[in-house]
Chain A
Amino acid sequence: MSERGDLRIVKFDNLVAIFNASLLWEYRSLLLRGLAYNFYVFAVAGALAISLGLSIAVLRLQPGWIARSIGSVYVEVFRNVPEYVLLIWVHFVLPLLITALLRSQVNFSPFVSAVLALGLAYGGYFTEAFRGGIQAVPRPHVEAARAIGMSGAMTLRRIILPQAIRHMLPEGMNLLVSLFKATTLVSLIEVPDLLYQVTIVVQQEMRPLPLYSGAAFIYFLLIFFISAAVDRLTQRWRVAWR
C-alpha cells in the first residue's frame, strides 16, 4: 500500500519535478562524457556495420553458391538475434569460446564488446540495405561499364555504389538512427554512456524522475534534429542529378 502512496505523491507533487534543468546542468560534464561514449560507440559500430554490410552484400551477389551461402547465413543469424542478447553473448560467452580455442585468457573490454555486437548486428541490416541498393542499379549501367573496359572493382566503386547509396539512403539513415538508439543498450555491460551515467547519478541523488526524463529528452532532441538535418541533406543529393 505504501508503494502506491509513493506513486501518488510523485503524481501530485508538482510537474516541475519531471523536468529539472538545473539538476542536469549540475552534472553536465558527467552527462556529456556519457554522451560522448554514445557517439563513440555509434561511430565505430557504424563504420564496422557499413563495411561489413558492403562486403557481405557484394559476397551475396556473387555467382558462386559458397559465397552466397556465407552471406545468407551471416544475415539471417545477425538479423534474427535481438541486439540485447547478442551484446550479452559477445561480452560474456564469446571471450570464453576464444579462450578455449586459443588456450589463453581473452577478455573483451565493455567498449570492444559493445562495438562488436552492435557492428555485427547492424552489419546484417546494412547487408540487406546495400543488396537492395545494388540490385536497384539497372543492369545495363553495369554492362556499359564492363563493355567500355572497366574492371569489376572499378565498376562497383565508380558506377554501382554512387547509385546504390542513393537508392538505399532512406533505409540507411533509418538504420543509423536505430543504431544510435541501440547504443543506449551498452550501459548494460557497463560502457559509461549517458544512460549509465544517469543511473549512477540517480543512485546518488535518489531522484530518478527528473534524471531519466532528462536523459529521454536529451536523446529525443538529438535524434530529432540529426534526422531532420540528414533528411534535408539527402533531399539535396536527390535533386543533384537532375
Chain B
Amino acid sequence: MERTPPDSIPTAAPAVGSNEQAREREVVVKAVNLHKSFGDLEVLKGINLEVHFSDVVSVLGSSGSGKSTLLRCINYLERPTAGEIYISGVPMGFRLDSQGQRHSASQRTINHMRQNIGFVFQQFNVWPHMTVLENIMEAPVHVKGMTRAGARELALRMLERVNLLDKQDAYPARLSGGQTQRVAIARALAMEPKVMLFDEPTSALDPELIGEVLATMERLAEEGTTMIIVTHEIEFAHEASDRIIFLHDGRIEEEGPPEQVIDNPRSERCQQFFSRLKHRR
C-alpha cells in the first residue's frame, strides 16, 4: 500500500464528538514526513503515520530499520530532524505562531504532552528504589499533583488490571522480568494516556515469561486502548493488531491488516522477512 503525504497539516485538535463514532475517527497519533538522523546516519527517511482512537498498530521490521527510533520520536525522547508529530491534533515539540512560523516548544510543554503518552521500554523499566505501588503512584502524585490517597486507589486499580495486586509492596528486585514489565505497563496506564507505546517489551525476557506480558497487552487491546507496539512477536502482532506497519531502512515498506502484511506480503523485503521467520518456527 502506497502512503501519500497528507495535503494539509492541521494546527488544532479535531472536534471530538460526544458519540462513539466521532471518537473512533479521532487521530490520536499522527506523524508527517518524519525524519531522524544520528550524525550522518539517517534512521528515519520520511514516515507518515496515522493511528486512530483504540487502534492497535504493530511495527515490524529487522533491527536497524528504525522501529525504536520512530517510537522514541513520538514522545520526543529523540528530537526529529524534520517532520511533525501530533498527539490528538496538538503538535508535539513545536508550536506554530499566528504567521504559521514554527517554534520549538518549551521543555515544560513537552513534559506536559508526555503525560498523554505511555511508554514501556525493553528493560530497566521500573525504579528499583521504590515498591511496586510507589512506582505506580510516583507520577500521578508528583507530576499530576494527585493526592496520595487518590493515587493509591488508582494504582491499586491499575495493578488489578495487570493482575499483580499481591505484589504491591514488593521491591522490583523481588519480581520476575515478566512481572516487572507488567508493573511498567500499570505505571504507564496510571497516567491515563491517550496512547501506549511499547518498545520491544518482551525482547529482554526469558521465553517462559513472554506469555504473561503479551496476555496483559492483549487484554489492553481488547479494552480499546490505543497502542503502538514495536515487537518481534509475529504471532502476537497477527492476533492483537488491527494494522501492521513494516519498516525497512527508515521507510514504511508495507502497511495494512495482519492478514495482508504478514500472510500475503506484496513487497519482496516483506516476503523475505516473514519467510525467514516462518522457517525459524
Q: Does A pair with B?
A: yes
CB–CB A149/B129 < 8 A: no
Q: How many residues of A contact B (CB 8 A)?
A: 23
CB–CB A147/B171 < 8 A: no
Determine the chain B residues whose CB is within 8 A of the CB of A148 once the complex forms. 114-115, 118-119, 138-139, 143, 187-188, 191
CB–CB A154/B114 < 8 A: no
| Contacting residue for A163 out of B108, B125, B129, B171, CB 8 A | B129
CB–CB B128/A149 < 8 A: no
Give complex CA distance A166, B188 in Å: 26
B123 at the binding interface (Cβ < 8 Å): yes
Give complex CA distance A143, B72 in Å: 10
CB–CB B142/A242 < 8 A: no
B111 at the binding interface (Cβ < 8 Å): yes
B22 at the binding interface (Cβ < 8 Å): no
Give complex CA distance A177, B118 in Å: 45
Q: SS class of chain A's interface: helix, strand, loop or mixed?
A: helix
CB–CB B129/A140 < 8 A: no
Give complex CA distance A152, B112 in Å: 13
A145 to chain B, nearest CB (A): 8
Identify which of residues 129-146 in chain A touch chain B, using a CB-to-CB cut-off of 8 Å. Answer: 138-141, 143-146
CB–CB B171/A242 < 8 A: yes
Determine the chain B residues whose CB is within 8 A of the CB of A140 once the complex forms. 121-125
Given contacts A241-B173, A242-B171, contact A147 B124 (CB under 8 A): no
Task: Provide the A141-168 mask, 1 if CB < 8 A to any CB of B, else 0.
Answer: 1011111111110100011001100100
Determine the chain A residues whose CB is within 8 A of the CB of B108 once the complex forms. 151
Determine the chain B residues whose CB is within 8 A of the CB of A166 once the complex forms. 129
CB–CB A149/B143 < 8 A: yes
CB–CB A144/B111 < 8 A: no
A168 to chain B, nearest CB (A): 14
Residues of chain B having any CB pair with chain A under 8 Å:
75, 77, 107-108, 111-112, 114-115, 117-119, 121-129, 138-139, 142-143, 171-174, 184, 187-188, 191
Residues of chain A having any CB pair with chain B under 8 Å:
138-141, 143-152, 154, 158-159, 162-163, 166, 240-242
The 5 residue pairs across chains A and B that have the minimum distance between CB atoms: A140-B124, A147-B119, A149-B115, A138-B124, A149-B114
